Amino acid sequence: MNNFIYEFANQLTPIILATLTSILSYVAVKIKKAIEQRFESNRCKEIVHSCIYFVEQTSSQKGRKKYDEAYDLAESWLTQEGIKFSVIELRCLIESEVLKLNKEVAK
């Protein structure tokens, strides 16, 4: 009986190890993707923030033209960095940063 248990355990061990390795690999890939997405999101916000402040300091344009200038600058920078973004996401981030800037200026 002990010999049967020993043989069964010996044959089962590689299967268990292979299964655990597969599960851990899958979890590691998911964690890596989540970290990369979070990093890209934060990097995207930083770039938009920098573009808004840059355009505010250097541009003589007003209103929509200033917005378009910031949009074009952020779009170019994000594309150069290889960060994927949607038009809606970029517009929302720009509007959010402009609102923050206006609140700071109003103080």
Q: What is the Cα–Cα distance from 87 to 71, expressed in whole angstroms? A: 10
Any idea what the Cα angle at residue 43 is, between residues 96 and 76, rounded to 5°?
80
**Please, are residues 97 and 49 in contact by the beta-carbon 8 Å criterion?**
yes
| pLDDT of 59 above 90 | no
Rg (C-alpha) for the chain, rounded Å, is 26
Secondary structure (3-state) at 103:
helix
Spell out the domain ranges in the chain. 2-106
Give the model confidence (pLDDT) of 18-36 as tens digits: 999 999 999 998 998 888 8
Give the model confidence (pLDDT) of 36-57 as tens digits: 888 888 889 999 999 999 999 9
pTM for this prediction: 0.67
Chain center to CA of 28: 17
